[in-house]
Amino acid sequence: MTSTPKRQSQRTRWSTLAVTVAGMALLAGCGGGKGTSQDDTGQPTMQTPDLPDRDTIYQTSTVADLVALGARKLTEGDFRSEIVGKRLRNSGDVDDGAHGPSEGWYWTIKPDGTSDSWSGKGTDDWSSPSVWTFEDGQYCRRAAGSNADYGCSTVYELNGVYRWSDSGDPDSLSNWSVEIGGWDAGALLYDGKTLTARNVAAMRLDFPEGTSNVIDPVEFSMRRTKDGEYVVMLDGLEHTFTRDQRKSWGLDANYIQEHDDDPDEHDMSVSFWSTSHEELDAGHSRGEHFAVFKAARDAEFHEHGTNPELQTFVVIGNPTLDFDFSRMNGVTATYQGGFAALELFTKSFDDFDWDSDDRLRLRSREGVTLTANFANSTISGNITGFRDEDADVPYGVTLTMPETAFSADGFSGDFAVSGGVVNAASYDASFWGPDANHVVGTIGVDDATTAGGKNYAGVGWFGVGKQE
């Protein structure tokens, strides 16, 4: 088949696809860490206007300068209530010239007087246990099982960042900047972290051929610059979205050419499904440990390139780590409510019409129920309550997740489907947050059929918070 689809402008298409942030309140959220405040809408705001920004705090090198900025010294009670038992992470990436940058470490200081730390730098992962006490207003450490003494440090907090005094020079600060590891995805982006998608659902829309189909996951990553630009990589194509390319619903680049001698023209769009520009500019994503985006490329220029249009749902953020799971051994948790979305496209067409039943948008609000058994590392449940977003009519489809083994790397498998419409679908999901606060993942729909006999393929996502 050779045809040209009836296309809305890319701006119109994506604004109609975007889900309002208010809808994401269906996911039981987890607020930001110590030092957060709230804006006029009640949302957490990581940056308090009258306090120094985190970069200034990271770069401060003496105790006197930090105190002059407004830092408070932690008492033993403060230390135990704010830090003990929490997952901590290093931030700031400051190199003191002697020890190298401190980025990439996590640890937990436990109530029983022990602590565990581990590196999170790719293939260099390793852990180190230690024991601790709080003496004369200072946090003191030594190696577990030996007499190696790491010394004592005074601990200070400013705007959610904790700094340690140098154990060998009490007037100076160590190069460690510490924050509560439960900070949300928006805070990580604000800090300049490159977040790579753990869960991806992908499909191709081939308009010249008149077909659509689900494909294997592709790579996606995102980084936010200090100027509020976004560096996005989708399936090998990288683009820096300037502030001029921001839209109310996300990001839009109508023309990308990788090299002057590259005959292929590209475009890329990223619609925000679980956060907004305003929230990310304030350094947070509403306290959620994850962020969901719908990313696409080659929507306008695919006829001139080698690939048809690519559409994806991707999940990035602050995942639950191995050590987090070890703290929940024996616990069974219920995840209830949440949200799910399916974007389905007819598998065969002559003249695709975005405003017709060539596209089917299904939504489930408060219809996700999952049970996770952390004793045997399995999860099961279902997603129900789907409705047609455009026609506002219910669909009886139920996606049932059979008992599935999970790990810190996530879990995946095939749904058992019932109730019509969806015939075959799969999931790829992860736990998010230091206490497995959320389960969020992507959905691939290989085959769906409406009552009228029309066949579809598509992608989607689901997310749900843990019941406390």
User: How confident is the model over 335-372, as pLDDT tens digits?
Assistant: 999 999 999 999 999 888 888 999 999 999 999 999 99
Say how far apart CA 18 and CA 294 lie, in whole Å. 8
Report the chain's C-alpha Rg in angstroms.
Answer: 24
Helical segments of 29-165, H only: 54-59, 63-68, 76-82
The class level of CATH for 10-34+184-465 reads: mainly beta
| Helix (H/G/I), strand (E/B), else coil: 185 | helix
Asked whether the predicted pLDDT for residue 466 surpasses 90, the reply is yes
Say how far apart CA 391 and CA 4 lie, in whole Å. 26
User: Mean pLDDT throughout 238-242?
Assistant: 94
Residue 354's pLDDT is 85
Asked whether the predicted pLDDT for residue 297 surpasses 70, the reply is yes
In 3D space, the residue among 447, 432, 421 whose CA is nearest the CA of residue 364 turns out to be: 421
User: Mean pLDDT throughout 418-427?
Assistant: 95
Residue 264's pLDDT is 66
Write out the residue limits of the CATH 2.40.160.90 domain(s) in the chain.
Answer: 10-34+184-465
pTM of the complete model = 0.74
Say how far apart CA 340 and CA 349 lie, in whole Å. 26
Tell me which residue has tokens 């008149």.
Answer: 210
Residue 287's pLDDT is 81
According to CATH, what is the number of the domain 49-180?
2.40.128
Asked whether the predicted pLDDT for residue 205 surpasses 80, the reply is yes
pLDDT in tens, 429-460: 999 998 899 999 999 999 999 988 999 999 99
pLDDT in tens, 394-422: 999 999 999 999 999 999 999 999 998 99
Task: Write out the H or E segment, with its range, that includes residue 17.
Answer: helix 10-17
Residue 351's pLDDT is 83
At residue 410's C-alpha, the angle toward residues 407 and 413, to 5°, is: 110
Write out the residue limits of the CATH 2.40.128 domain(s) in the chain.
Answer: 49-180
For residue 390, what pLDDT band results from cuts at 50, 70 and 90? Answer: very high
For residue 10, what pLDDT band results from cuts at 50, 70 and 90? Answer: very low
Residue 87's pLDDT is 74
For residue 122, what pLDDT band results from cuts at 50, 70 and 90? Answer: very low
Asked whether the predicted pLDDT for residue 467 surpasses 70, the reply is yes
Residue 208's pLDDT is 81
Say how far apart CA 204 and CA 211 lie, in whole Å. 8
Q: Of 145-149, 196-200, 285-289, where does mean pLDDT reach its minimum? A: 145-149
Residue 182's pLDDT is 60
User: Whole-number mean pLDDT of the chain?
Assistant: 82
Residue 11, classified by CB atoms within 10 Å of its CB into exposed (0-12), middle (13-18) or buried (19+), is: middle
Residue 183's pLDDT is 66
Residue 23's pLDDT is 42
Q: Residues with Cβ < 8 Å from 203, sequence gap 6 or more? A: 212, 213, 214, 215, 310, 311, 312, 345, 444, 457, 458, 459
Phi-psi region of 287 (alpha: psi -120 to 50; beta: other; left: phi over 0): left
Residue 121's pLDDT is 42
Q: Of 193-202, 238-247, 282-291, where does mean pLDDT reach its minimum? A: 282-291
Say how far apart CA 464 and CA 340 lie, in whole Å. 9
Asked whether the predicted pLDDT for residue 93 surpasses 70, the reply is no
pLDDT in tens, 259-270: 555 556 788 999
Q: Residues with Cβ < 8 Å from 213, sequence gap 6 or more? A: 203, 204, 347, 457
The side-by-side arrangement of strands in the sheet containing 230-234 is 195-196, 220-224, 230-234, 237-241
Helices and strands: H and E segment counts in the chain: 7, 33
Compute φ and ψ for 279, nearest 5 degrees.
-70, -45
- Asked if 30 and 269 count as a contact pair (C-beta separation under 8 A), the reply is no
More confident residue, 424 or 58: 424
In 3D space, the residue among 198, 202, 192, 204 whose CA is nearest the CA of residue 231 turns out to be: 192
Residue 339's pLDDT is 97
Residue 256's pLDDT is 76
What tokens appear for 365 in the block? 């609000």
- Asked if 384 and 38 count as a contact pair (C-beta separation under 8 A), the reply is no
Say how far apart CA 294 and CA 13 lie, in whole Å. 12
Residue 86's pLDDT is 79
